Structure 1
Amino acid sequence: MWAALLGAVAGGLALDLAFPDAGVWPLAFVGVGLSLVSLIGRSAGGAFLVGLAFAASFWFTHVSWTSRYLGVLPWFALAGFESLLSAVGAVGIALAYRWMPRVAPGTTGRVLGLPLLVAGVWTARELWLGTWPYTGFPWGRIGMSQSESPLAALASWLGVTGLTFVMVFAVAAAIEAVRCRRTAHWRGGVPALAALVALVAVPAFPTADAGTWRVGAVQGNGPAAYFDTRAPYAVFEAQRAATFPLVGEDLDVVVWPEGGVDADPTNNVDVAEELDRLAERLDAPLLLNAATRRGDDIFNTSMLWVAGSDNPVAMHDKTRPVPFGEYVPDRWFYRLFAPDLIDLIQREYTPGTIPPFFDVDGVGVGLAICFDVIYDDVIWSGVRDGAQVLVFQTNNADFRDTDENLQQLAFARMRAIETGRAVVNISTVGTSQVIAPDGRELDALDADVAGAMVTDVPLREGRTPAVVIGFAVQLVVGWGSVLALLATGVLVRRRREEPVPSPQGTDTGSS
């Protein structure tokens, strides 16, 4: 047990190093391997303890940026809760290691069936953490660690979920090949080798060229953080000032980040008129973002602003406001534990229902606002509606000088590869980049400075297999693996309860 705990802690730290800022992507395989080896042969209680050690060493380092402004309590709450959920999922992985060899004890069962079940349960755990509680927090998915690796191309076929599954399968199959080396001979390594070939050799799915779109993206570097001291309209003025150098450029659209307008232009006539004048001077539509109010509801809203039109001509409200950041679920309950922190969050955003898609002069644009980039359905929805390019608006000012903005940028890069679409990722303070459909950086702005970039962004048409079958992959791998694990457990229990047959010819009567 002591060795398993040490291995689990080392595995969690290795997995964190696979993500930015370090971004040593091969360490994802090391982290997964150490986690799996530490779970083999464990009881349910032992698996929970070892799984907790792995998850805590990962989560407490991976999201340490949550303590940037509010101290250790939010950090410990988020990392601790995710660690507990991960530990529960680790019990399922340990049960797969215990049950599957009893159901399928042969070589094929050990080197193929067992890794398939282990990888499926691991992936199901990721999906669980990414959807529950509230909207979930899919920030630690294994597949998302591969944005800078040659393995990322597989995500265009199977999605990030499928990439996670194949990576974990490769590691689990390699482990079983080593464990069965005396009986399986060379056949034991075939599944692991096949998975590695698939990871390395499969090219990204090709989407069709649809021309280019000349985009001006503006990073105002205004005082946009929660605790920044600022005058009214200070963020808006910073965005305007950074936009003026684009006047006279031949542009198809100008993109501003999340919260680039710190007033509601749908209810503030002065701000709306300023935006009208700016759009007219630019001679291009403005794609902007602000908090808007409709009745008693407040939304985090992206808007399309066109000179001479009844603006905004289109709107999209953030689909999943961030729990404990943009609203407080069950406020009465959590206020019992941390009233001062909970009371800091005064504004309660309402989840949006308007699809994340704009038609901008005939160009389809898929949208995601800040943390919405981590939710598959938001991204896939825009592409299915006809997006030829993706625009992600974010405000990273609350996490200056941390790994958060680099991790989010990596997720944006994975979305480009997964969907075969270029991404314009624009932040109030950085990191802002234009990313090609294959994940390459096309343009960038330095963090913490005001500036604008003008980029000919490639447009693409056609859906990748990830967008077409992504939900089916999640259904089969997620629920399918849970059902397979339960079925395996039932078979093991039935075999235990079966009576042992008497030897042939033995008199079983009383003497």
Structure 2
Amino acid sequence: MERLAGKIILLSGAGRALVALAAGAIASLSQAPFDFPLAAFVAFPVLVWLLDGAVAAPERRGLSRLGPSFLVGWLFGFGYFLVGLWWTGNALLVEADLFAWALPLAIIGLPAVLAFFYAFAAALAKIAWSDDIGRIAALAVAFAFAEWLRSVLFSGFPWNAVGYAAMPVPLAMQSIAIVGAVGINVLAVFVFSLPALLAGRAHLKLGAALGVGLVVLHLGYGGLRLSQAEATDGAETIAIRVIQPSILQSQKWDMAERDRIFQAHLDLTTRPVEEGGEKADIVVWPETSVPFLFGDRPDALAALGAAIDDDQRLLAGIVRAEARGEGETSYYNSIVVIDGSGEIVDAFDKVRLVPFGEYLPFQEFLSRFGLRQLAQNIGGFSAGSTRRPLDLGGGVSGLPFICYEVIFPGIAPRGGGDARLLINVTNDAWFGDTPGPYQHFRQAQFRAVESGLPLVRAANNGISAVVDGYGRVVDGLAVDAVGVLDVDVPLGEAGAFLPPLRPGLVGWSLLIALGIAATANNLRSRHRVN
């Protein structure tokens, strides 16, 4: 191992760049749908050794000395996001005549921009670098802080946070309920990087003990929390039907297809329940499932009311128009709740919009260069003001998340507040059968675990599913399948075993404590040298 590490440390030029790119690409295999955490145990030790060899020229001073580390981190990040997010370009091919020219911006430009977060992490870690386990701690702290920045800056894009590699199955997901996303990122990078110590003797036994101990605690806590699931038998349930019509994105807003699409949703809604099944209390349609504005089709609400019984409610994803005066109209990506009489009894407007998809950042400036959002046919969407539970009837409320809103850590409050389940409607048909829908679904599972509430997810082309408060799939439909899910969903069944500590506080405490330890170790190492 020392020989391999030595070769990597001494790499230069194109060889160093290629290894950094390859390490990042390998790390991406730890995410869904590949779910191969061992890839991270290969990639991060290589990153550590590359940073060991990232030494600036003697004449460089100040922050310029961090340049080689910054470059290594950027190359690692570019490889990671290039392999992990190439599928975003698929959305541009839906209307290829308008957007194919922007394909390089999606496939190469987005990873290139996101890679700067990992470049920052590598440079930040190098400030407190040492030749022992202290550098492992520094790298873990820096990456966790960079991932937090990625979730908040420029409206945030925390897709495939590196810590998620440590949570491929429900047994390994439960720790996020106690340490939060920040803590998961800290501990995951720390453990993934520990094999780098095999190339030397310094702190090897300590690293092995910490690595094994943290993995045992991680999985042990998962087993303990899952063991509590059986104690919730007999909990109150609500019968829910989830609709997955799998409408091609190229057809979704085609004027000639709208009646057929609407009828396909109605047919799935009225499909008889299988023998022994229970009639749904709630029917959930995907994001933007109604293919026209209600104002253009006054018969649509009546048809929706006729499709359900008086004691049922239907949740439908729609595009909502609101007049703003002087001939201006604002459009919202919304969910409406409709009762059996065809009346809208509640509604929610999407709060977090997708940059370049639903709105164009710096629109006045970027539009001069021909850039536009994918939803350009209505001029883009406006954002809703607040997130609040939807009234589902019978005293039950559900907290709504439209599309990628569900990827933001901590966005679902612990215990749900006034809500008793989470509702996620989405349309991933933009991305086809690529890694995108699988990654999106995985991140939705984490929100259920964080909040301790069941998640009902309706996706146009999948993955539609019902997930319990422990992240376990109760039932689901595969990508591109057409059908319905009829599930009795236990309400808030995991709330009885949510740890009393606030995960955000625990996660940041871990980050700060490890950061102090790394800094102290760095200062002690410098003192020994002097």
Q: TM-score, normalised by structure 1?
A: 0.83
Matched, 1:286 2:314: yes
Secondary structure of the corresponding residue to residue 236 of structure 2: strand
Matched, 1:471 2:504: yes
Kindly report which structure 2 residues correspond to 1:230-249, keeping only aligned pairs within 5 A, or say none.
230-231=255-256, 232-246=258-272
How far did residue 267 of structure 1 move? 7.6
CA distance in 2, matches of 1:377, 1:356: 15
How far did residue 41 of structure 1 move? 4.7
Aligned to 1:78: 110
Kindly report which structure 2 residues correspond to 1:147-166, keeping only aligned pairs within 5 A, or say none.
147-148=168-169, 150-166=171-187
CA distance in 2, matches of 1:212, 1:242: 22
CA distance in 1, matches of 2:304, 2:180: 38
How far did residue 359 of structure 1 move? 3.5
Aligned to 2:160: 140
CA distance in 2, matches of 1:450, 1:47: 49
Fraction of identical pairs, as percent: 24
Aligned to 1:371: 404
Secondary structure of the corresponding residue to residue 299 of structure 2: helix
**Once the two structures are superposed, what CA deviation does each residue of 1:2-56 show, in whole Å capped at 9, x if it has no partner?**
3653442232122211122322233233333322332235241111111121111
CA distance in 2, matches of 1:418, 1:84: 28
**Once the two structures are superposed, what CA deviation does each residue of 1:309-348 show, in whole Å capped at 9, x if it has no partner?**
7x32222221201010001111122224344777946432
Aligned to 2:216: 197
Q: Which of 482-491 and 322-331 deviates more?
A: 482-491
CA distance in 2, matches of 1:9, 1:423: 36
CA distance in 2, matches of 1:129, 1:385: 26
Matched, 1:62 2:60: no
Q: Which of 204-213 and 120-129 deviates more?
A: 204-213
Q: Which of 331-340 and 61-70 deviates more?
A: 331-340
Secondary structure of the corresponding residue to residue 218 of structure 1: strand
CA distance in 2, matches of 1:306, 1:32: 53
Secondary structure of the corresponding residue to residue 76 of structure 1: helix
Residue number among 252, 271, 282 corresponding to 1:253 in the alignment: 282
Aligned to 1:299: 332
How far did residue 190 of structure 1 move? 2.7
How far did residue 245 of structure 1 move? 0.5
CA distance in 2, matches of 1:24, 1:185: 25
Secondary structure of the corresponding residue to residue 367 of structure 1: strand
Residue type of the alignment partner of 1:218: I
Aligned to 1:332: 364
Aligned to 2:304: 275
Tell whether the 8 Å contact from 1:392 to 1:425 is kept in structure 2 after alignment: yes
**Once the two structures are superposed, what CA deviation does each residue of 1:346-401 show, in whole Å capped at 9, x if it has no partner?**
432222223242242222322211101111243227x4323332221000111112
In structure 2, the CA distance between the partners of 1:185 and 1:354, relative to structure 1 (3 Å rule), is closer
CA distance in 2, matches of 1:199, 1:115: 19
In structure 2, the CA distance between the partners of 1:305 and 1:315, relative to structure 1 (3 Å rule), is same
Residue type of the alignment partner of 1:402: T
Secondary structure of the corresponding residue to residue 15 of structure 1: helix
Matched, 1:53 2:65: no
Secondary structure of the corresponding residue to residue 456 of structure 1: strand
Residue type of the alignment partner of 1:189: A
**Once the two structures are superposed, what CA deviation does each residue of 1:239-295 show, in whole Å capped at 9, x if it has no partner?**
1122220479521211111011123347853222222222337x4111111111233
Structure 2: gaps (5+ residues): 1-10, 56-65, 94-99, 325-329
Residue type of the alignment partner of 1:142: V
Residue number among 415, 425, 428 corresponding to 1:396 in the alignment: 428
RMSD value, Cα: 3.3
Matched, 1:349 2:381: yes
Residue type of the alignment partner of 2:152: T
CA distance in 1, matches of 2:355, 2:345: 29
CA distance in 2, matches of 1:161, 1:294: 39
CA distance in 2, matches of 1:294, 1:344: 17
Tell whether the 8 Å contact from 1:234 to 1:262 is kept in structure 2 after alignment: no
In structure 2, the CA distance between the partners of 1:62 and 1:214, relative to structure 1 (3 Å rule), is same
CA distance in 1, matches of 2:246, 2:498: 38
Residue type of the alignment partner of 2:269: T
Number of aligned pairs?
479
CA distance in 2, matches of 1:471, 1:173: 25
In structure 2, the CA distance between the partners of 1:19 and 1:490, relative to structure 1 (3 Å rule), is closer
CA distance in 2, matches of 1:388, 1:25: 33
How far did residue 128 of structure 1 move? 0.8
Secondary structure of the corresponding residue to residue 160 of structure 1: helix
**Once the two structures are superposed, what CA deviation does each residue of 1:108-134 show, in whole Å capped at 9, x if it has no partner?**
xx54x554433121101111112112x
Tell whether the 8 Å contact from 2:27 to 2:40 is kept in structure 1 after alignment: yes
Secondary structure of the corresponding residue to residue 140 of structure 2: helix
Kindly report which structure 2 residues correspond to 1:478-493, keeping only aligned pairs within 5 A, or say none.
480=512, 484=516
CA distance in 2, matches of 1:82, 1:61: 13
Aligned to 1:415: 447
CA distance in 1, matches of 2:375, 2:485: 38
Secondary structure of the corresponding residue to residue 295 of structure 1: strand
Q: Which of 271-280 and 227-236 deviates more?
A: 227-236
Matched, 1:37 2:49: yes
Matched, 1:380 2:413: yes
Aligned to 1:509: none
How far did residue 486 of structure 1 move? 11
Tell whether the 8 Å contact from 1:141 to 1:164 is kept in structure 2 after alignment: yes
In structure 2, the CA distance between the partners of 1:149 and 1:24, relative to structure 1 (3 Å rule), is farther
Tell whether the 8 Å contact from 1:11 to 1:33 is kept in structure 2 after alignment: no
Residue type of the alignment partner of 1:284: Q
In structure 2, the CA distance between the partners of 1:83 and 1:336, relative to structure 1 (3 Å rule), is farther
How far did residue 167 of structure 1 move? 1.3
Aligned to 1:107: none
**Once the two structures are superposed, what CA deviation does each residue of 1:421-458 show, in whole Å capped at 9, x if it has no partner?**
32222111222122233333322224324311211223
In structure 2, the CA distance between the partners of 1:154 and 1:343, relative to structure 1 (3 Å rule), is closer
Q: TM-score, normalised by structure 2?
A: 0.80
CA distance in 1, matches of 2:204, 2:27: 31
Aligned to 1:106: none
Q: Which of 355-364 and 87-96 deviates more?
A: 355-364
How far did residue 165 of structure 1 move? 1.5
Secondary structure of the corresponding residue to residue 423 of structure 2: strand
